Amino acid sequence: MSIYNRILVPIEGTETDAPVLEHVGRLAALCAAEVVLLRVAHYHTRDQRVCEVEDAERDLARAAEQLRRRGLEVRTLLRSGEPQHVIVQQAEELVPDLIAMATHGHGWAKRMVLGSVADHVRHNTDVPLLLLKGRGGRE
């Protein structure tokens, strides 16, 4: 039995995903863990919904293929809503052994204004959390 059997990986379809996918790819291979990729479509209007869902599906397919090429078992989930809440909810439902996600490296002042998805997840789940600094992207 491995320490990690299921790893939840929220992705956002930006450059910030690359370091997380690389690290999780190596870790999941060592542990023979299932990787669950989660992409949260976040939109406010019906017009935004169509584009956001199409982008999210493309992001999931690309990330899943990258990990499957390494021989990993990958499941994809597309959900909509506020990312920080959806990630916590999916962690409760899936009961992963680890959540691995990117941070953006914002300073404390910017976090106070913008909030932080990673901070919210950290404070609202008991699942161990692996935070990796991403490159570029959005929050």
Question: Could you tell me which residues are beta bridge partners of residue 98?
Answer: 7
% pLDDT > 90, the chain: 73
Would residue 105 count as lying in a domain?
A: yes
Q: Quick check: 52 and 81 in contact, CB under 8 A? A: no
* pLDDT (0 to 100) of residue 107: 53
Looking at per-residue pLDDT, the higher value among 139 and 117 belongs to 117
Q: Position 12: which residue type?
A: E
CATH code for the domain of 67: 3.40.50.620
Q: Are 35 and 125 in contact (CB under 8 A)?
A: no
pLDDT confidence band for 114 (50 / 70 / 90): very low
List pLDDT tens digits, range 3-33.
999 999 999 999 889 999 999 999 999 999 9
Give the separation between CA 134 and CA 103, rounded to whole angstroms: 6
Q: Is 99 contained in some domain? A: yes
Q: Is the residue at 83 inside a domain?
A: yes
Residue at 119 is within a domain: yes
Number of helices and strands in the chain (H, E): 5, 5
The pTM of the full predicted model, rounded to 2 decimals, is: 0.89
* Structural domain harbouring 20: 6-133
Determine, yes or no, domain membership for 63: yes
Report yes or no on 138 lying in a domain.
Answer: no
Report the distance separating Cα 102 and Cα 22, nearest Å: 12
Domain presence at residue 139? no
Residue with tokens 């976090």: 111
36: its two tokens: 């669950």
DSSP structure class, residue 75: E
Domain count, the chain: 1
Residue 46: pLDDT over 90: no
Sign of CA dihedral 81, 95, 135, 61: negative
Point out the least confidently predicted range of 63-72, 93-102, 110-119: 110-119
